[in-house]
Amino acid sequence: MEAHLTHVYNQIIARNPGEAEFHQAVREVFDTLGPVIDRNPQYTEAAVLERICEPERQIIFRVPWVDDAGRVQINRGFRVEFNSALGPYKGGLRFHPSVYLGIIKFLGFEQIFKNSLTGLPIGGGKGGADFDPHGRSDGEIMRFCQSFMTELANHIGPQTDVPAGDIGVGGREIGYMFGQYRRITNRYDAGVLTGKGLTWGGSLVRTEATGYGLVMFTNRMLGTRGLSFDGKTVSISGSGNVAIYATAKAQELGAQVITCSDSSGYVIDEAGIDLELLREVKEVERGRVSDYAIRRGSAATFVPGGSVWDVPVDVALPCATQNELDGDAAAALLSNGLVAVAEGANMPCTPQAILAFQKAGVLYAPGKASNAGGVATSGLEMQQNASRDSWSFDYTENKLAEIMANIHDTCAQTAEEYGHAGDYVMGANITGFIKVADAVIAQGLI
Active site residues: 126
Number of residues that this document lists for the chain: 446
Other beta carbons less than 10 A from residue 72's beta carbon: 8
- Say if residue 443 carries a ligand binding annotation: no
Torsion 175-57-324-369 (CA) sign: positive
Helices (DSSP H) in 119-256: which residue ranges? 138-152, 171-185, 209-223, 241-252
- Cα distances (Å, whole numbers) of residue 260 to 8, 291, 318, 319, 429: 40, 12, 10, 9, 29
- Say if residue 241 carries a ligand binding annotation: yes
β-strand partners of 343: none
Please provide the DSSP assignment of 219-265 as one string. Answer: HHHHHTTT--STT-EEEE---SHHHHHHHHHHHHTT-EE-EEEETTE
The dihedral over CA atoms of 197, 203, 206, 208, expressed in degrees to the nearest 10, equals 90
The closest of 174, 144, 150 to 71, measured between CA atoms, is: 144
Other beta carbons less than 10 A from residue 2's beta carbon: 15
- Say if residue 232 carries a ligand binding annotation: no
- Say if residue 210 carries a ligand binding annotation: yes
- Say if residue 378 carries a ligand binding annotation: yes
Residue 306 is classified by DSSP as: S
Distance CA 68, CA 60 (A): 26
- Say if residue 114 carries a ligand binding annotation: yes
- Say if residue 111 carries a ligand binding annotation: yes
Q: Which residues are annotated as a binding site for NAD(+)?
A: 210, 241
Q: Which residues are annotated as a binding site for substrate?
A: 90, 111, 114, 165, 378
Q: Which residues are annotated as a binding site?
A: 90, 111, 114, 165, 210, 241, 378
